[in-house]
Amino acid sequence: MLVIRPIQSSDFAALRHIAEESGPGFTSLPVNDGRLQQKIAHSEISFVQDVVQPGQQGYLFVLEDTATGDIVGTTGIEAAVGLETPLYHFQQNRVMHHSAELNVLNQLKTLTLCNDYTGASEICTLFLRQSYRKGYTGRFLSKVRFLFMAEHPQRFAETVIAEMRGVSDGNGQPPFWGWLQKLFLTIDFPTADHLIGVGKKAFIAELMPRHPIYVGLLPEEAQQVIGQVHEHTKPALKMLQQEGFVHRGYVDLFDAGPTIEARLGQIHSVASSIKVPVKVVSKVEPGQMLAVSNTETQGFRASFSEQARFDEHQGALLIQPELADALQLSDGELARFIVLEKGRR
């Protein structure tokens, strides 16, 4: 069985392996022992804090294969970004240049450096090992964050964002990066990527353009990828769009990938999740595939299975003992669930 739980210090070796496997561009998990240990410690503190409003907390979960004990994926949530270290984006805008005398009207696209998402919550750090990318696992890994957020809304902001990976070439280099490197940063992409990953972002404010940039002046290959996602990111983008996330013109500084947003209470899996008592039964007839979690914080556990079924007549979630044990649930305790795929019977 695959079970989501909060990360703990003993998971360091597994997290480092995932950081290595995730490759360049996955800045939330840099291959840096100190930074990874710091992220684990910060997450452990965040889960035990008594929180009434979002702050510096960061929640990192791991996906464990209980049959082997292996950690096969990660997923995370930042409670409020940009409070300590600014979170920068380019905002896409349009400006009008008009000459009445010449009867000329030009509408021009611009990019402006901003930190408009300061204080928003961010879903992040989603990675699943290649051999587990099948069935419902990826979908579960994305949606399980919304079960936790639905259960603990006071820990998160009203606006939730997700930064989507932008287009890169076969060598992992974003076409958008070249003009920035040449004109402003004069460091290579791996170096900039590493600095972001270890939290050293001061160079952005120091070196990035401070005035709006006319998109039409950029190289054609850079223009074409603004707001576009990497081929491997398209399924994740589609899934979040189905949850209600939309793109409002903000893109990443380095690869120009879109940042999408939604209101917490309007995210489909948050709004549609149901919290009910559980009833442990010996057998549940297979039906819909459900993602189910307990209602704990530090002891949060979640999984997906057909070993659970909502009985409207009893007003209870019927679950088999194996699933109940994995989620540390007993008769009468509360669980929260969502249907992983609408229409499955």
Output the 3-class SS for 55-74. CCCEEEEEEEECCCCEEEEE
> Left (φ > 0), alpha (ψ -120 to 50) or beta: where does 103 sit?
left
- Please give the angle made by the CA atoms of 198, 204 and 209, to the nearest 5 degrees: 160
At 343 the pLDDT is 43
Beta strands 70-78 and 121-128, pairing class: antiparallel
Q: Please identify which of the residues 42, 89, 211, 230 carries the catalytic annotation.
A: 230
At 216 the pLDDT is 94
pLDDT along the chain (345 residues), means of 10: 97 94 76 92 97 96 96 97 91 90 90 96 94 93 97 98 90 85 80 73 79 94 95 92 97 94 98 97 90 98 95 94 97 96 50
At 35-79, the pLDDT tens digits run 999 999 999 999 999 999 999 999 999 999 999 999 999 999 999
At 345 the pLDDT is 36
- Please give the angle made by the CA atoms of 141, 234 and 341, to the nearest 5 degrees: 45
At 344 the pLDDT is 42
Measured CA to CA, the distance from residue 331 to residue 311 in angstroms comes to 14
At 297 the pLDDT is 97
Which of 10, 15, 8, 48 lies closest to 30, judged by CA? 15
User: What backbone torsions phi and psi does residue 5 show, to the nearest 5 degrees?
Assistant: -150, 165
Examine the residue annotation and report whether 42 is marked as an active-site residue of this protein.
no
